[in-house]
Chains A and B, each alone.
Chain A
């Protein structure tokens, strides 16, 4: 068999294959639920109900989607330029670290000044952290997949060291936990009395901004060209290394905002379980979104919905929660296959 590029795929083809992929994901999830001895239809219903069935559930899903939008954008931006940033987890934690370093009382400023400062320092720190693997790649040709991945382990150990040492909260009853943010450093709620915070608003704004950068700016054009064909881009006079470094700065900054938003919006302090792998899940979000920044918002809601829904389904139907991770893995693999099938035709020879 051989793959033949389709020059002008029809809309039906562009939407049809991803739709089939999603259906197949749900069918396999039902089969897996059956193996666990549950009624497959009630499992799917329980997941949907748990994720979107009540206003509480919807807000919980939006909350859970917030860090995923940031990490999804970070990955989408990088992958578009074929810069394989697998280290969003570390960048998330460095963003959270900056927020805690400056937001626990060192800067006694009002919210209107303090919050932007915290967000900007988080972005800066995340960008710098990803700059190291990016420089190693452009200077020495070191594969960024391995370096960004290893950075995740290094940085989590570094955070663990700080939390058991200088950053440890003396009031924390011995837990490795930082001091709490001052009130001025907390992101306000969007609706009074409900948990949803302005980190979600910031995530939506970021998605729109990134979309504008990608579609309307020279940098967006250059990033796309570098991603499509590095040699051709260099030949066309695009400074490939500079574009890769700019991509890295943007990507790292976005991932760090996830950490800022989780600390300032939800947790108020830094612990080692701040992120249950949001950095890695961002890769799934970005791929499901076909690397489109606006699609990232939809994909993050879908992924967050599966997590939140599977949690409540698991309690009700006695199916292990790992079903959610399996569904996402299947969705990811089928979606990359579906994207390929929208662009290529299989020819037998």
Chain B
């Protein structure tokens, strides 16, 4: 079987890890927001803004890591906007999120047209190059897949560990999780639910933007319209799939990415010649919905997700 052969090639798994990286950043960002009780549907637009901001910074002469910082900062600004409207003012998180997505996407395209008028093929930058981790990259299959990636991929995996540690092993993480489970208890401790939720959304949005920047600064070396292409929405599903846990979300992202990498390769086999390519493209979305159906029954949804907190009101 051609499909089974594909599963045993290192290049397939390397591609899967590469495709998973932006999803990991953005899903972690969304996990942080939702753990604190805020659904952030601005994710798709924030990724677009991050993709453009990081790339534009590098194109105008900053270093690559400064570009990542710029992307993160832009994402945090949109996080500030989202959280100001949804947390102290308690506006509908669905509507504000979609508004932020539209604003971030359109202002990015607007800025792109102003910065580069009349450009048909966007200029390229010197993107992050793969960095082979000494010794480890020589392990067959796993080495090439995991340890010959760009630095941003290593950062994504490191962040899964860091975010897990902070969420489950520190007082700060406890406060964030409590803000999403039982905000009244947080307030009773003398902590500000508003401050915790807003900070979580701002930090989370920063990570989403870095996920977007991965596309322009690591996966490709240029910015295109529609390049985020629904990845943000997939991350929303990945958060549910991962039961709001960073580790499981990582697993979900890699599985999803593996499927994506597989469909590209299967299209070129004899099997792909018979089945329309749209079927393969549909599969990740259909699987996401099936996963939601299976997981929703026992999902650990943060109890106060999407419930605005107004001090003095029970």
Contacts and interface: CB of A to CB of B under 8 A. Distances in A.
Q: In terms of DSSP, what is the predominant structure of the interface of chain A?
A: helix
A283 B230 CA distance: 18
A261 B128 CA distance: 49
Given A140-B293, A154-B285, A336-B92, A322 B98 contact: no
B259 interface: no
A158 B278 contact: yes
Most buried by A among B236, B289, B310: B289
7 contacts: A146-B233, A147-B292, A161-B279, A164-B278, A287-B95, A329-B107, A340-B90
B269 interface: no
Contact of A146 (B99, B237, B297): B237
B89 interface: yes
B105 interface: yes
Contacts of B110: 32, 36, 320, 322-323, 326
B102 interface: yes
A14 to B, nearest CB: 17
B85 A333 contact: yes
B94 interface: yes
B173 interface: no
Contact of A280 (B91, B98, B312): B98
A322 B41 CA distance: 21
A198 interface: no
A14 B233 CA distance: 35
Nearest to B292: A142
A58 interface: no
**Which 6 interchain pairs have the tightest Cβ spacing?**
A325-B106, A329-B103, A320-B113, A161-B278, A329-B102, A322-B110
A146 to B, nearest CB: 5
B278 A150 contact: no
Contacts of A160: 278
B90 A336 contact: no
A150 B233 contact: yes
Contacts of A142: 289, 292-293, 296
A326 B310 contact: no
Interface in B274-304: 276, 278-279, 281-282, 285-286, 288-289, 292-293, 296-297
A168 to B, nearest CB: 12
B109 interface: yes
Interface size class of A (residues with CB under 8 A): 35 or more
Given A140-B297, A146-B237, A336 B96 contact: yes
Interface of B: 39, 41, 81, 85, 88-92, 94-96, 98-100, 102-103, 105-107, 109-110, 113-114, 230, 233, 236-237, 240, 276, 278-279, 281-282, 285-286, 288-289, 292-293, 296-297, 310-312
Contacts of A136: 289, 292-293
A1 B297 CA distance: 37
Contacts of B233: 146, 149-150, 153
Given A158-B278, A340-B91, A333 B96 contact: yes
Given A2-B310, A157-B281, A322-B110, A336 B289 contact: no
B206 to A, nearest CB: 20
A328 interface: yes
A256 interface: no
Contact of A332 (B95, B276, B296, B310): B95
A67 B207 CA distance: 37
Contacts of A340: 89-91
A165 interface: yes
Given A150-B237, A340-B89, A3 B102 contact: no
A284 B310 CA distance: 26
A52 interface: no
Nearest to B312: A2
A136 B240 CA distance: 15
A161 B276 contact: yes
A337 interface: yes
Given A145-B236, A283-B98, A336-B91, 8 more contacts: A86-B94, A143-B292, A149-B236, A150-B233, A333-B103, A336-B92, A337-B85, A337-B89
A331 B89 CA distance: 17
A337 B91 contact: yes
Contacts of A234: none
Contact of B102 (A150, A320, A328): A328
A326 B94 contact: no
B240 A336 contact: no
A332 B100 CA distance: 9
A32 B237 CA distance: 34
A227 to B, nearest CB: 12
Contacts of A141: 296-297
Contacts of A280: 98, 102
B285 A150 contact: yes
A299 to B, nearest CB: 14
Nearest to A139: B293
A284 B278 CA distance: 30
Contacts of A330: 103
